[in-house]
Amino acid sequence: MKKVGVAILGLGVVGGGTYKILTEHRQKYIQTHGVDISVESVLEVRKERIHALGVDESKVASNISEVCSNPEVDIIIEVMGGVEPAKSYVLAALNAGKSVVTSNKELYCKYGYELEKAAKHNHVGLFYEATCVGGVPVIRALLDNLQGNKITSLIGIINGTTNYILTKMTNDGKSYGEVIKEAQALGYAEADPTSDVDGYDATYKLSILSSICFNKKIPYTEIYREGITNISPVDIAYGKKLGYVIKLLAIGKDSEKGVEVRVHPSFVRVNHPLASVNDSYNAVYITGDSVGDVMLYGRGAGALPTGSAIVGDVIYCATHTQHRYSTFENTETAAPDTKFITNFQSAYYLRFLAADKAGELSKVTSVLGKYGISVAQVVQDIDGNDKEGAVNLILVTHSTRESNIKKAVAAIDKDLTETRVAAVIRVVS
């Protein structure tokens, strides 16, 4: 029977979950896969975590060199997060001839090209299923099951924290500030939630996924990013009336005109499959030229869901001798011939605070018309007056260019003294 030794760098939430799965299911893997996977080393400074998980003290390493030089270790799992020291540790592992499994989306997004170069040079594997969408096997699906397709688009809810926050705001009518405090108290949001709520986390994941989907390097620096901190309960309520729910979406499209990649809040029609993805759940909606539409759905984070993805990579690595690498030239920057579309098309939800007098609506639509923007829906809420007597005027446009909206909004703010723009949110049909 083949024996495979594993080391885990970090026994936090995900590392602890991974350790539990590997130890509790060890006999199952022997029976089902014919491979004996054992945890031979851990690198963790917090003694309480070591004791809580019941790790044998003899398996606890004091530094990365000790892990890399251990002849019983074949695969090293990195679940530390952040760039350093994780990057140095992973490179040390690869250069020591160890295959690596990582859940570190920031590290892989920013330095995957460097890590893969080291993996290729040392003829070892580099696996990263757990970097994206928790326990949902989206990367394996793209690399194996959907590889016969030309993927034309993916739209995803790929950050559990923001999806939980927006779900609570939608269901309870609370403000962003109220919900973020609740999420932090429950452990759904970090003490510093910037990476999640400002869209960085989703941007890293979209970079990884869109590169695989479109077979070309999509650096995170090329992705338009906008977070959820300015989303208001007022707009969520009006969205409901119009038949929409609010989500932080990661959108990637590939066409003859170029690649379009963006992360931002969007109103989604209630009948769209992504509209019912709530709380910390994630989903990715993929369109291929042969398969059509496919949606993968599940837990987007957590000890066991993410641990499931990590262990899946460990088993795959343990049972395959031939390692695979990127299907595209994995470099730091995009290929010179890759064209990125920044002036993308979308429908838009616009909310204005306007003076409660005749003619204001026509003034707004007149400005929009100058920039080629036509209106699909209008709501004028005379019961929604603010303290100064202004009314909420809501318009949903037909599809138009991003640049047209920006110019029109700037013109309205500049030229209409009794109307101001309160919110601009993109709409996905």
**Strands 281-288, 151-157: pairing kind:** antiparallel
CA separation, residue 167 to residues 177, 277, 305, 362, 421 (Å): 14, 9, 20, 35, 25
Question: What amino acid occupies position 3?
Answer: K
Please confirm, yes or no, whether 168 is among the known catalytic residues. Answer: no
Catalytic residue among 205, 216, 217, 247: 205
pLDDT at residue 337, rounded to an integer: 94
Q: List the chain domain ranges.
A: 2-131, 143-300, 345-428
CA gap 161, 392 in Å, rounded? 30
CA gap 339, 362 in Å, rounded? 39
CA separation, residue 414 to residues 184, 244, 411 (Å): 39, 30, 5
pLDDT category of residue 382 using cuts at 50, 70 and 90: low
Q: What is the pLDDT of residues 210-262, one digit of tens each?
A: 999 999 999 999 999 999 999 999 999 999 999 999 999 999 999 999 999 99
pLDDT category of residue 169 using cuts at 50, 70 and 90: very high
Residue 390 is given by DSSP the state -
* 26 φ/ψ angles, rounded to the nearest 5 degrees: -55, -45
CA angle, 50 as apex, 45 and 53 as ends, to 5°? 150
CA 398 to chain centre: 27
pLDDT at residue 185, rounded to an integer: 85
Average pLDDT over residues 338-347: 96
Q: What is the dihedral of CA 12, 14, 20, 25, to 10 degrees?
A: -160
pLDDT category of residue 273 using cuts at 50, 70 and 90: very high
Least confident of 78-92, 151-165, 170-184, 329-343: 170-184
pLDDT of residue 385 exceeding 70: no
CATH 3.50.50.60 fits 345-428, yes or no: no
> What stretch of H or E contains 160?
helix 160-172
Percent of the chain surpassing pLDDT 90: 88
pLDDT of residue 290 exceeding 90: yes
CATH 3.40.50.720 fits 2-131, yes or no: yes
pLDDT at residue 187, rounded to an integer: 75
Average pLDDT over residues 132-160: 95
Q: In sequence order, which ranges of 53-159 are alpha helices (DSSP H)?
A: 64-68, 86-95, 105-121, 138-140
pTM of the model: 0.95
Least confident of 188-192, 247-251, 269-273, 292-296: 188-192
* 62 φ/ψ angles, rounded to the nearest 5 degrees: -95, -15
pLDDT at residue 384, rounded to an integer: 56
Q: What is the pLDDT of residues 61-110, one digit of tens each?
A: 999 999 999 999 999 999 999 999 999 999 999 999 999 999 999 999 99
CA gap 376, 144 in Å, rounded? 41
Nearest to 314 by CA among 93, 127, 42, 149: 127
Contacts of 66 (CB under 8 A, 6+ apart): 41
Least confident of 3-7, 90-94, 379-383: 379-383
CA angle, 230 as apex, 229 and 231 as ends, to 5°? 95
Nearest to 107 by CA among 134, 133, 88: 88
The third-level CATH classification (topology) of the domain covering 143-300 is: Dihydrodipicolinate Reductase; domain 2 (3.30.360)
pLDDT category of residue 355 using cuts at 50, 70 and 90: confident
> What stretch of H or E contains 29?
helix 26-33
* 18 φ/ψ angles, rounded to the nearest 5 degrees: -65, -45
